[in-house]
Amino acid sequence: MDELKNIEHQDATVRILLAHLGAAMIATGQAAHEIEAELVEVADRLGYPQLQVAVSPTGLILSLCSGDPATYESVVAPVRLDQASEVHRIRQQLIRRKMTPDDALALLSTLRARPVRYSVWLARLAWVMISLGIALILQPGWANAALVIVCSVVVYGLMAVGNQARVLAYLLPTVAAFVVTIIVFVAAEFEWIEGPLRTILPPLAPLLPGALIVTGLSELAAGHMQSGTSRLSYGVVQLGLFAVGLIAATSLLNVPAEMMVNVRVDNIGWWAAPVGLLLIAVGICLMESIELSLVPWVLLVLLMAFGAQLSGQTLGSAAIGGFFGAIAASLCASLVEQIRPESARLVLFLPAFWLLVPGSLGLIGVTTLVADPGRAIETGLEVATVICAIALGLLIGSSVGLALRDPQG
């Protein structure tokens, strides 16, 4: 009888552990099909090779064996990248049998209580650094970069107010896009800047659902229909909320169609892109509480993604550039994880989404549809092609990385 109780207790502990681990992995933004595969691997190492698991963007349900009791665990909110790195470490320790289920469960239960590594003012500075870094790549003009700094401070202030007011938190995409668009187009009206449409994007880029949309498409491509459809639908709705704010502001100002053209300004010089990449890498580490020792590795992934994207655009089109960039970022992150097992691939790879800017492309596309309805089909197809190319590149890069990690798999 005591032995039976011990077995039941062990089964319950492992089931709860896997549920908490899976929920934490969902909170990191990882694709559902990858989470299911990695949970099956952990369960197998713990002696439960018949794990049944179904993952969605908001929770998961699992059973140690078909017909056994099942557990559901919901996901409250996303986690920071330093917390995502801890989730990766726990999973690795479980696979290597260097951590007991009880110890792992104890660490996961305190995961969200982990304090931030850097002070609040550094996190604020990081937001400005990331926005400026994206501006130096997307719209490298002196006046544009200065205006992006101002707008990024405004967006951060709106986020801070949104944390205290639930209504503003729900409407943050629309309100942020509206306010930034007003500031940028007023500056353009006074001829302080050129290329206002691209100048709007950098302060909003960290909020845009580019990673969400591409992850949803990759899940659909992997056959995970429910998760992929829900994630993609949510991302498109969020993108629509940004577009509503942008279009409302341009309508209020009666902005002429010629000012809403996708024009790139470049009067800083060749060094704008390298400095931009460095600012993005350092800014992400500060904002997400990542150890600064990881900055060179994050920067390496960004450089590989940027180089591949630029080469693809030079050889073909934006879609080819996005395809090559996604492959390079995903594959490079996987290789770094093999060299440094303590470095989570997801932590190294996610910053590349802001570089590939699929969300920015989508926002440009939606705005262009309104400014020039005659090109609706052409513009829509161009944006959809680029985002699908990035998703396909991500899927291929992840598959190759998995094959290199486990040649027998």
Q: What is the pLDDT of residues 198-211, one digit of tens each?
A: 898 889 888 877 77
Question: What is the C-alpha to C-alpha distance for residues 325 and 309, in angstroms, rounded to an integer?
Answer: 4
Of the residues 77, 98, 113, the one at which a domain ends:
113
Q: Does one domain contain both 147 and 213?
A: yes
Q: What pLDDT, on a 0 to 100 scale, did the predictor assign at position 12?
A: 87
Residues in the chain, overall count: 409
Of the residues 48, 79, 113, the one at which a domain ends:
113
Question: What is the C-alpha to C-alpha distance for residues 233 and 211, in angstroms, rounded to an integer?
Answer: 13
| 8-22, 65-79, 196-210, range with the lowest pLDDT | 196-210
Range 278-291 average pLDDT: 90
Number of independent structural domains in the chain: 2
Q: Is residue 351 part of a domain?
A: yes
Read off the tokens for 198.
Answer: 């691209």
Which tops the pLDDT comparison, 396 or 358?
A: 396
Alpha helix segments (H runs only) across 163-209: 166-189, 196-204
Q: Does one domain contain both 88 and 230?
A: no
Q: Does one domain contain both 93 and 130?
A: no
Q: Strands, E, within 50-205: which ranges?
A: 52-56, 59-63, 70-74
Q: Is residue 395 part of a domain?
A: yes
Provide the 8-state DSSP code for 266.
-
Is the CB of residue 139 less than 8 Å from the CB of residue 151?
no
Of the residues 78, 113, 148, the one at which a domain ends:
113
Read off the tokens for 38.
Answer: 């990695």
Q: Does one domain contain both 94 and 125?
A: no
Q: Does one domain contain both 188 and 47?
A: no
Q: Is residue 409 part of a domain?
A: no
Q: Does one domain contain both 99 and 140?
A: no
Tell how far CA 285 is from the center of its chain. Answer: 14
Q: Does one domain contain both 255 and 389?
A: yes
Domain of 249 in residue numbering reads as 120-404
What are the respective helix, strand and coil percentages of the chain, to the nearest 5? 75, 5, 20
Which tops the pLDDT comparison, 404 or 238?
A: 238
Q: Does one domain contain both 125 and 74?
A: no
Q: Is residue 167 part of a domain?
A: yes
Which tops the pLDDT comparison, 347 or 104?
A: 104
Q: Does one domain contain both 26 and 135?
A: no
Question: What is the C-alpha to C-alpha distance for residues 335 and 331, in angstroms, rounded to an integer?
Answer: 6
Record the pTM.
0.86
Tell how far CA 97 is from the center of its chain. Answer: 30
Q: What pLDDT, on a 0 to 100 scale, did the predictor assign at position 359?
A: 46
Q: Does one domain contain both 214 and 71?
A: no
Q: Is residue 132 part of a domain?
A: yes
Q: What pLDDT, on a 0 to 100 scale, did the predictor assign at position 409?
A: 47
Q: Is the pLDDT of residue 80 over 60?
A: yes
Q: Is residue 341 part of a domain?
A: yes
Q: Is the pLDDT of residue 2 over 60?
A: no
- The amino acid at residue 144 is N
Q: Does one domain contain both 285 and 309?
A: yes
- Percent of the chain whose pLDDT exceeds 70: 90
Range 337-359 average pLDDT: 75
Q: Is residue 386 part of a domain?
A: yes
Q: Does one domain contain both 166 and 103?
A: no
Q: Is residue 350 part of a domain?
A: yes
Tell how far CA 68 is from the center of its chain. Answer: 35
